[in-house]
């Protein structure tokens, strides 16, 4: 396994991040335990989850599964850089969502209880909260850091200007602020190249792409149209809409002898701002297969060919849309 710094920090994380959103809804607890054990065996030390994962309002099923896995001991907690999130709706009452200081404190305490740990290594804001001032957000995060309950703070689904605003106000408070941003990013979804990636690079944030395979679109969709979720109507529409690009992409992969999913991950690993794409395996086979991406080398010609198939927005702003 290869490791890199998380943004401008000294924290070393694996180049692949284990996403756990499937644990509970799609992957049983015993299978989830086996996948996490195997991830450690493979050297993956970066695990990502969220308090809302698990598909049952307010229960944090996925965090509970991870907590019971940690409780087995054997150095499991000590080996993992643990990331979870706050923002999502955790109940029907007021103040059970978003980023008020009230909710941040309560959500953190509840995540710690479910995860059976005394601290969260990376506490990520799952979305921007336009109704809460940054002074309030940072005051709450600073308190959690002082108490040792949180070590680093990250964002998810932020715009570039949100990152700049957050960092400016954090600096004024002499607080480290954000160290990472988790964004939708893959060959078929490159909008963040306009503003978010330049902001991450300017402020020293690690970029953690979610949905690196485009919801399965980049995982050999044309060969698997009769299998699993790809038979659902909305997935079929996405495949039909992107069919010309998918045909070129899957042909490119076949000529190289690479599986489309592995090549999609490898492309992300070749992007200079990327720390670790989030892989979300439902099975052990999907976990171990993801490691092949670490071995794929893409030349400049390969990257240009992929740009021709899946063009981005034209690079960073403003040059992408102005002179």
Given CA atoms 256, 260, 262, 266 in this order, what sign does their dihedral have? positive
Q: How large a percentage of the chain has pLDDT more than 70?
A: 98
In which band, very low, low, confident or very high, does the pLDDT at 100 lie, cut at 50, 70 and 90? very high
* 2 closest CA partner among 229, 323, 291, 214: 291
> Over 80: is that where the pLDDT of 134 sits?
yes
Looking at residue 236, what is its pLDDT?
84
And the tokens for 206?
A: 């690690």
> Over 70: is that where the pLDDT of 54 sits?
yes
Q: How much is the average pLDDT of 36-60?
A: 97
* 108 closest CA partner among 84, 89, 131: 84
Instruction: Kindly tell me the burial class for residue 302, based on how many C-beta atoms sit within 10 Å of its own C-beta (0-12, 13-18, 19 or more).
Output: middle
Q: How much is the average pLDDT of 102-131?
A: 98
Which of 229-234's residues contact partners 24+ apart within 8 Å by CB, and which partners? none
Looking at residue 233, what is its pLDDT?
79
Whether a cis peptide bond, with omega within 30° of 0, leads into 270 is no
Given CA atoms 269, 85, 5, 9 in this order, what sign does their dihedral have? positive
d(C-alpha 317, C-alpha 323), whole Å: 10
Looking at residue 225, what is its pLDDT?
59
The radius of gyration of the chain's CA atoms, rounded to the nearest angstrom, is 20
The CATH code that applies to domain 3-309 is 3.20.20.100
Is pLDDT larger for residue 229 or for residue 162? 162
Looking at residue 231, what is its pLDDT?
64
In which band, very low, low, confident or very high, does the pLDDT at 228 lie, cut at 50, 70 and 90? low
Average pLDDT, the chain: 96
d(C-alpha 111, C-alpha 67), whole Å: 9
HSE-up of residue 48 (Cα within 13 Å, Cβ side): 28
Catalytic pick from 3, 26, 53, 185? 53
Residue 185 designated active-site: no
Could you report the per-residue pLDDT of 187-220, keeping only the tens digit for each?
Answer: 999 999 999 999 999 999 999 999 999 999 999 9
Q: Return all residues near 117 (Cβ < 8 A) that are at least 6 apart.
A: 67, 70, 77, 82
d(C-alpha 129, C-alpha 117), whole Å: 27
């Amino acid at each position: 396994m290869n490791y890199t710094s998380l943004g401008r920090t000294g924290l070393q994380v694996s180049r692949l991040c284990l996403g756990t959103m499937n644990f509970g809804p799609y992957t049983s607890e015993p299978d989830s335990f086996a996948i996490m054990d195997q991830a450690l065996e493979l050297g993956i030390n970066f695990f990502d989850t969220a308090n809302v994962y698990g598909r049952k309002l307010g229960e944090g099923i996925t965090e509970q599964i991870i907590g019971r896995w940690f409780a087995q001991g054997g150095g499991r907690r000590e080996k993992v850089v643990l990331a979870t999130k706050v923002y999502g709706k955790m109940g029907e009452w007021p103040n059970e969502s978003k980023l008020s200081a009230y909710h941040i404190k309560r959500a953190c305490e509840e995540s710690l209880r479910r995860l059976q740990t005394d601290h969260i290594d990376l506490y990520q804001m799952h979305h921007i909260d336009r109704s809460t001032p940054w002074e309030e957000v940072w005051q709450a995060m600073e308190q959690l850091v002082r108490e040792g309950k949180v070590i680093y703070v990250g964002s998810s689904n932020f715009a570039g200007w949100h990152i700049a605003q957050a960092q400016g106000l954090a600096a004024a408070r002499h607080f480290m602020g954000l160290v990472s941003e988790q964004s939708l990013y893959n060959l078929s979804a490159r909008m963040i190249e306009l503003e978010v990636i330049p902001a991450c690079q300017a402020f020293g944030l690690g970029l953690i792409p979610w949905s690196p395979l485009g919801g399965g679109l980049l995982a050999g969709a044309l060969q698997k149209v009769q299998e699993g979720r790809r038979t659902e109507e909305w997935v079929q529409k996405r495949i039909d809409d992107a069919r010309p690009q998918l045909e070129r992409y899957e042909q490119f992969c076949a000529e190289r002898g690479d599986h489309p999913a592995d090549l999609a991950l490898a492309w992300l690993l070749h992007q200079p701002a990327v720390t670790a794409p989030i892989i979300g395996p439902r099975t052990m086979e999907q976990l171990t297969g993801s490691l092949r991406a670490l071995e794929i080398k893409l030349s400049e010609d390969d990257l240009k060919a992929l740009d021709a198939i899946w063009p981005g927005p034209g690079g960073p702003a403003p040059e992408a849309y102005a002179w």
